[in-house]
Amino acid sequence: MAVTMPSASPINVLSPNRTPNRPPMQPNVANVVLGNLPIKPWYPSFYPEDMVGGRKTERLYVCQWCFRYTSEIMKYSAHCKVCPLKDEAPPGDLIYEKDDYIIHQIDGEEHKLYAQNLSLLSKLFLDTKSVFFDVSTFLYYPLILRNTSTSSHPYGQIVGFFSKEKMSWDNNNVACILIFPPWQKRGLGQILIAASYELGKREQRFGGPERPLSALGRKGYVSFWCGEVYRCLLASPLKRTVTVKDISEETYILQEDVVAALKEMDVLEKRKTASGSVVVNKSKLRAWAEKNGVSREPIVDVDAFVEKEEEEDEDDEEESEMEE
């Protein structure tokens, strides 16, 4: 299969987001307890000065349902008994439900304290991302895992999230993304990334994550781009010539990210076609997928996204008014 590449070389979109001369900042919390899980923070967060100021806080307790926090275990125990989300679903609207995975959409303007507390916790595991206390311009998408041994909650455990600006001048479909450390290396980040691109398609938001990417984020996104490009190429007719633009428009992945994926997979032949297009070896493509355990099935089920019924509700209201 031939692939026409862009004539201009893309910029290096995979550069890390930490300047070489700046060492990573030390955490201002030694240990965080999320529910009953002790976790070692990686970076400092912007918790109140009277709680984390001066010397490093030895232990911070964070509610696994609402993400409120305290450094006092008695206050934490008392809160956990009466937390309003102890037996309830997370706030916001259900937008995806498939097997053991649930995703909600939370408006930072409507659920300000929840969004702020979630952001404060996430900053403990993110280097350069800033916590926006004015969360009203962001949407948050927590991933809930149903069957987990770490929680007895009837709805499931929030294991990570991504956020995005309601209006992004750069057309980014993700501002911040994180799977909490106890649930990393399970492919859950790929579900969030795939969901962000599917939502981007539905919103006609042709973009990608906010740049530059962290080292961990870069690894996750390259893996996702490679998988999507693989599935797209494998579905194309054998002798058809496709352009990087074609792949980009099919997957909603930016052209420079498509190029990065093709190079990462190392499936391009050295020879070119008469028209100058590069050749993708489908045997190499399949071998790459087998080696990396990449399935031909999409990561998320597009039919599992829950459509809002606002228009139908409005129609029902109008009919009721007419009947009256």
By the 10 Å C-beta count (0-12 exposed, 13-18 middle, 19+ buried), 31 is classed as middle
244 and 6 Cβ atoms separated by less than 8 Å: yes
Distances (CA, A) of 76 to 184, 229, 232: 26, 47, 49
8-state DSSP, 94: E
What single-letter DSSP state applies at residue 225? H
Question: Distance between CA 87 and CA 80 in Å, rounded?
Answer: 11
How many other CB atoms are there within 10 angstroms of residue 208's CB atom? 24
- Burial code (b: 16+ CB inside 10 Å, e: under 16) for 61-97 equals bbbbbbbbbbbeeeebeebbeeeebbeeebbbeebbb
Catalytic residue annotation: 210
Cα–Cα distance for residue pair 136/116, rounded to 1 Å: 10
Residue 69: closest CA among 13, 20, 121:
121
Which one-letter amino acid corresponds to residue 236?
S
Backbone angles phi, psi at 210, to 5 degrees: -60, 135
